[in-house]
Amino acid sequence: MFQRKRIKAIQEEVERQHAAVEGRADGLLEKLKGSKWTAAILLGAVVFAIMVLWSLS
């Protein structure tokens, strides 16, 4: 009986943390959508990653 309560409490805590993290991620995504520099930064990151991978091969 005690283990079921403990498991349920742990599960509720995990769900609460998941909801909090998801809310913060959604907020960050909204900020990025509002930024005019987002596309340029992401494109730069992709180009940089391609250059690094190309130089390694």
Q: What is the pLDDT of residues 19-56, one digit of tens each?
A: 888 888 888 778 777 777 888 888 899 999 999 999 98
- Global pTM value: 0.47
Instruction: Please tell me the predicted confidence (pLDDT) of residue 28.
Output: 79
From CA 27, how far away is CA 4, in angstroms rounded? 35
**Cα distance between the two ends of the chain:** 58
Instruction: Please tell me the predicted confidence (pLDDT) of residue 54.
Output: 93
Burial class (CB in 10 A: 0-12, 13-18, 19+), 18: exposed
Domain ranges within the chain, ordered by starting residue:
2-56
